[in-house]
Amino acid sequence: MSTFNDLCIKHGTDKGTTVRECHGYSFAYEDLFKEKRNEKLKILEIGIADPLFPGASLKVLTEYFSNSIVYGFDIVPCDFNIKRTKLFKGDTSSREGLVEVLGFDPEPFDIVIDDGSHIHEHHLLCFNEIFPRVSKGGLYIIEDLQAPGGEKTINHFYNDSNTQALKNFGVARTELRCYNKLLAIIKNEKTVKKRN
């Protein structure tokens, strides 16, 4: 059975160890996901239209999580024809756009990966709109905190004066982890109310 990193190499995404920036998120993801990989999950990735390797991370996620549905969200229209994916066009800088797109399905997400614009304000808008839709025990992950604006995001979540962003959703600071200063990993421990 292929590891998450094997699949990143196979499909050419920089979440692994061989393509472009070689972020190595694949090691954190293997650790986070290995217990869940055979479950039927609902996964959302924001930012799926990498111009060099379009849809690569969707291919990784659908192959790794062979029983799951993967939702993809991007500001440009995408049609990758990948089984078990549902793709949506939307803008992470617009609350109205996020609410409209997220209204498609009332069931909570088990894993959310924000690999979108990497703009601090967009990170917070997405978190505020989407985190309440993460299942109990589910994970909300923000990638590329080394990008301009990313450091501001992790400081926002870790800074004592800003922990209200987490407290609003009943998240304790102990449920926030940072991987190599590159990923913010937030675990939801509260039961999510289904939206109508």
Q: Catalytic amino acids?
A: 118
Q: What CA–CA distance (Å, rounded) separates 177 from 192?
A: 21
Instruction: Give the residue from 29, 33, 44 showing the smallest Cα distance to 182.
Output: 29
Is there a contact between 86 and 71 (Cβ–Cβ < 8 Å)?
yes
The neighbour count for residue 136, using CB atoms within 10 Å, is 12
Alpha helix segments (H runs only) across 103-161: 120-130, 150-158
